[in-house]
Chains A and B, each alone.
Chain A
């Protein structure tokens, strides 16, 4: 899932999802699966993707990524540009996606939110891993020290 969602503006919601499945990998995810997980997308399936709210667009981007049935799901800046309440909803959905053989790597500026969700975290500074471990093993100060390199 690319940073900033990058939906295809001239395609409908459903067409965006179908394009995600273009690579034709087999796996658990298909249109019906996405629609039952995110009923709002089924409702808006024929709407132009850019007519949706930011949070809904983010869900389309997630759905589009899932449609390729990845082994490893890369989520770049999941919370970018979204309202806090929407961010909360989207994170609440993540446990229903990850698992069943699907691993996700999440790159996120909202550190608290990311730590609450993750099984493992890495802090990378200037291309080197400056801190890694279980999310609850370190204090906020330790993480920000590793993050800012101070």
Chain B
């Protein structure tokens, strides 16, 4: 029963990794941007939530009502003000700019919030659980986390293939010059994509902060989990990203059971294995 428990808990943790990852394929798909600062933005949103909660005393889940719109507005401005200027034929400038942002965010957070670890307190939600089988207890928080991940991915999927915004994303990604003939300004389309990505980042940040301690330096680690989930699942397949996160979570759970030091390593090894056997990921690119 121990193993069943490990796998089920791993699946639920995978939901969090999928939340870390879900914004990445959106951004890459629409504007071919690899955002090195993605993980740091997740941590920054956790700090934003922490500050809001510190001032107002509201529940972390309620803080999302503020954190998500602030994050989306920030994403829009970030894209219009900085990232659009870096995007072009060459893939290197946006990489360098987001790498620089990563350094700035980490040090900015260190300056503002010190290196002390913080946590978002969700009260009874954190410790509550119900028994599924004997020896397998499901925590409310991991279950909620997983449910939110599924909802976010379903929402992104629907948006991308069934809405005017999604149509604009796909058209601009296909051919931004012709899209301009149709009145679609790629800078604004990109800014909307980044706003949506930051909305997901905000959700990821709050769940990250509720689940465990965080400090200014953990961003790059979250980014690597996110990247790995995307690559395992296959770029261009959002449900694949969820399954990629789940595989990562289960691998880490099994690794931790063998030896606590193997937890993160086991995830990386599975990622490398998938990269070696199926470099394009486990699931094919999706269309419509």
Contact = CB atoms under 8 A, between A and B. Distances in A.
Contacts of B178: 2, 6, 8
B183 A23 contact: yes
Interface in A32-54: 48
List of 7 A-B pairs having minimum Cβ-Cβ separation, nearest first: A23-B183, A8-B174, A6-B178, A8-B171, A22-B182, A19-B182, A10-B170
Given A2-B181, A6-B175, A22-B182, A12 B288 contact: yes
5 contacts: A6-B175, A8-B179, A10-B173, A15-B170, A18-B167
Given A10-B287, A48-B288, A68-B182, A19 B175 contact: no
A9 B179 CA distance: 12
A19 B174 contact: no
Interface of B: 164, 167-168, 170-171, 173-175, 177-179, 181-184, 287-288
Given A2-B181, A20-B182, A8 B170 contact: yes
A112 to B, nearest CB: 29
B170 A22 contact: no
A16 to B, nearest CB: 8
Contacts of B175: 6, 8-9
Contacts of B164: 18
B174 A11 contact: yes
B61 to A, nearest CB: 36
Interface of A: 2, 6, 8-12, 15, 18-20, 22-23, 48, 64, 68
B178 to A, nearest CB: 4
A134 to B, nearest CB: 31
A29 to B, nearest CB: 14
Contact of B171 (A2, A19, A48): A19
Given A11-B171, A23-B182, 17 more contacts: A2-B178, A6-B177, A8-B175, A8-B178, A8-B179, A9-B174, A10-B170, A10-B287, A11-B174, A18-B164, A18-B167, A19-B167, A19-B171, A19-B179, A48-B287, A64-B182, A68-B182
A8 B176 CA distance: 10
A52 to B, nearest CB: 15
A8 B179 CA distance: 8
A22 B183 CA distance: 7
Nearest to A68: B182
A67 B99 CA distance: 43
Nearest to B167: A15
B179 A10 contact: no
